[in-house]
Amino acid sequence: MKEKTGGRGADVIYDSVGGEVTDQSLKCIAWNGRLLVIGFASGPIPAIKANR
């Protein structure tokens, strides 16, 4: 994603899977980007480290 956006990252990411996908999504998000969690198809709600 960073390559496709010139290193910037995605402005908005819609996550309906959760789990490891949430962690991977955070690596692709732009500064001041938004992560919209709309479900947890993979199981339990993930623990997100907010200090990245």
Number of domains in the chain: 1
Give the chain's mean pLDDT. Answer: 84
Mean of pLDDT values over 18-42: 86
For the stretch 46-52, contacts whose Cβ atoms lie closer than 8 Å and that sit 24 or more positions apart, written own/partner, are: 46/18, 46/19, 46/20, 46/22, 48/22, 48/23, 52/26
Q: Could you tell me the two tokens for 49?
A: 């480290």
Asked whether residue 50 is assigned to any structural domain, the reply reads no
Q: What is the pLDDT of residue 52?
A: 60
Smallest Cα–Cα separation from 2: which of 31, 38, 37?
A: 31
Asked whether residue 52 is assigned to any structural domain, the reply reads no
pLDDT band at 19 (very low <50, low <70, confident <90, very high): confident
Q: What is the pTM of this model?
A: 0.68
Write out the residue range of the structural domain in which residue 13 sits.
Answer: 1-45
Asked whether residue 51 is assigned to any structural domain, the reply reads no
